[in-house]
């Protein structure tokens, strides 16, 4: 049988379609990942005009109030003084479905927060789960394709979903959460939020800390079963949030952090930059730092919620990225998606515009001159549009080395190339989660899995049972018995 060689869009053979090129097995991605960039850039342009993922969403404005100073950990201005308030815009969403889908799909929920700080916008772009299905971004387009509608029937196909998961054990932890009793939130108010990725903080002494963000719902957790969700209005979560805020029942979340000193990452028991894994709360307890409250609805859904653009690359001095491979790719892919979907000046649209002065040398393009931070100036008038220049004394902007992040951990001994992660332990944490469940929760989990897995091929079923069994023998045996 003749094999067909996988190629790039320009016809060049592809050497590896499962692993991005990184500096060491735990190191960051490198800029020669041209094939990964091609996949992500093409993926961002597959739908016009709605978002490819997170298309169905709901947004509202509010405030973040700091109740614990983090000056020992970060120079971020909005995390210094207890009592300081920062305006925010939050967008909730389902992930896989289009705008024609239901608010009550069994699907992760997006939970994105835009902090309008006095040093620029900080976007915390996460989900309602602490982990994700993947730890390498090169697989993201493939994963979403498996979750979208079947290309022939244009209808959901659970067999395709499980076929992907059977080939990617790294998805087992998140899939276990998705298929559990928490897989369908009753409302956006009744779910937690997580930054999910590992980010970094650094203080005035140049000390770096790794950090994970957690937003705990003050309303508590409420969920629906498949049967309950089937009877709900498809736009019920949207309606619930709007009505709650209109009725001054302002939803809130307690914001907490897990903080790891930089030096401890090297020897931690799991890769702390692997998006499929959590940090033990025993090792790194949650530290409460503030309160997030939503208290104002949008005036126009399209102008605000639909055009809202969140990006993990929207960072501020004192908050930075990490070697998390998924995060590294999102630093490019999210802004690329926004420029395509909305336009090159997406950050000049009011909902995205910073609330602080903006000074740069970008010019022209759609929506140029809209940003309130420019005082509604017309494309910055006749100001100099290149750098360096001789106009600093007249106010032309210059770089400020004082806000530079400290260097990342050294990579001298790391080799650059494809690093296979298939031998990582993707089973222990999924098993730990299963063992925390009550018998009723385990039964719901099994029923939800079998509902879709029963449609898959026998080989997919067998491979999934092996994964479940590696996580926990009871987990595997319950699935096997339910499929019999």
Catalytic site positions: 54, 127
- Collapse the DSSP code of 42 into the 3-class scheme (helix H, G, I; strand E, B; otherwise coil) and give the result: helix
The DSSP call for residue 78 is G
Would you give the distance in Å from CA 453 to the centre of its chain? Answer: 26
Rounded Cα gap, residues 430 and 175, in angstroms: 9
**Nearest partner of 211 among 70, 110, 91, judged by Cα:** 70
Label the pairing between strands 57-66 and 199-202: unpaired
The residues, any chain, with a CB within 8 Å of residue 394's CB and separated by 6 or more, are none
Residues making up the chain, counted from first to last: 484
For 432, other C-beta atoms within 10 Å of its C-beta total: 15
Residue 473 phi, psi dihedral angles, 5° rounding: -60, -40
Rounded Cα gap, residues 343 and 102, in angstroms: 28
**Nearest partner of 379 among 339, 344, 417, 428, judged by Cα:** 344
CB-CB contact of 219 with 193 (8 Å): no
Q: Token pair 């080989």 is at which residue?
A: 459
For 420, counting Cβ atoms within 10 Å of its Cβ (0-12 exposed, 13-18 middle, 19+ buried), the class is: exposed
**Nearest partner of 275 among 68, 172, 135, judged by Cα:** 135
CB-CB contact of 402 with 75 (8 Å): no
For 475, other C-beta atoms within 10 Å of its C-beta total: 27
């Amino acid at each position: 049988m003749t094999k067909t060689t996988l190629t790039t869009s320009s016809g060049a053979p592809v050497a590896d379609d499962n692993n991005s090129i990184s500096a060491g097995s735990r190191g960051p991605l490198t800029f020669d990942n041209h094939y990964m960039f091609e996949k992500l850039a093409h993926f961002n342009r597959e739908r016009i005009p709605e978002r490819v993922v997170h298309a169905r969403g709901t947004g509202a404005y509010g405030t973040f109030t700091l109740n614990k100073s983090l000056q020992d950990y970060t120079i971020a201005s909005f995390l210094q003084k207890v009592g300081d308030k920062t305006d925010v815009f939050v967008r909730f969403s389902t992930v896989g479905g289009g705008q024609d889908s239901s608010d009550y799909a069994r699907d992760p929920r997006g939970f994105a927060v835009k902090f309008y700080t006095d040093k620029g916008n900080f976007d915390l772009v996460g989900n309602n789960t602490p982990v994700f299905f993947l730890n390498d971004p090169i697989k993201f387009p493939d994963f979403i394709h498996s979750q979208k509608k079947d290309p022939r029937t244009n209808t959901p196909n659970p067999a395709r979903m499980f076929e992907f998961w059977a080939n990617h054990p790294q998805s087992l932890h998140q899939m276990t959460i998705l298929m559990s009793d928490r897989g369908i939130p009753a409302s956006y108010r009744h779910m937690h939020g997580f930054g999910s990725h590992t980010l970094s903080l650094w203080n005035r002494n140049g000390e770096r800390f790794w950090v994970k963000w957690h937003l705990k719902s003050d309303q508590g957790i409420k969920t629906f079963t498949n049967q309950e969700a089937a009877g709900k209005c498809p736009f019920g979560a949207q309606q619930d949030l709007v009505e709650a805020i209109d009725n001054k029942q302002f939803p809130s979340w307690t914001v907490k952090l897990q903080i790891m000193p930089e030096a401890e990452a090297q020897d931690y028991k799991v890769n702390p930059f692997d998006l499929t894994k959590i940090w033990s709360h025993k090792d790194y307890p949650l530290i409460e730092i503030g309160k997030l409250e939503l208290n104002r609805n949008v005036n126009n859904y399209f102008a605000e919620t639909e055009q809202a653009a969140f990006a993990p690359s929207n960072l501020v001095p004192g908050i930075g990225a990490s070697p998390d491979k998924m995060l590294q790719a999102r630093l490019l892919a999210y802004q690329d998606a926004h420029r395509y979907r909305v336009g090159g000046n997406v950050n000049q649209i009011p909902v995205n515009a910073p609330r602080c002065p903006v000074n740069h040398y970008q010019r022209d393009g759609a929506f140029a001159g809209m940003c309130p931070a420019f005082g509604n100036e017309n494309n910055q008038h006749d100001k100099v549009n290149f750098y360096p220049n001789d106009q600093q004394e007249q106010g032309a902007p210059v770089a400020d080395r004082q806000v530079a992040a400290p260097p990342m951990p050294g990579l001298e001994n790391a080799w650059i190339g494809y690093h296979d992660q298939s031998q990582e332990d993707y089973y222990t944490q999924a098993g730990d989660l299963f063992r925390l469940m009550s018998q009723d929760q385990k039964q719901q989990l099994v029923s939800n899995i079998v509902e879709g897995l029963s449609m898959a091929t026998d080989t997919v079923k067998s491979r999934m049972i092996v994964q479940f069994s590696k996580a926990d023998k009871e987990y595997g045996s319950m699935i096997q018995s339910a499929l019999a």
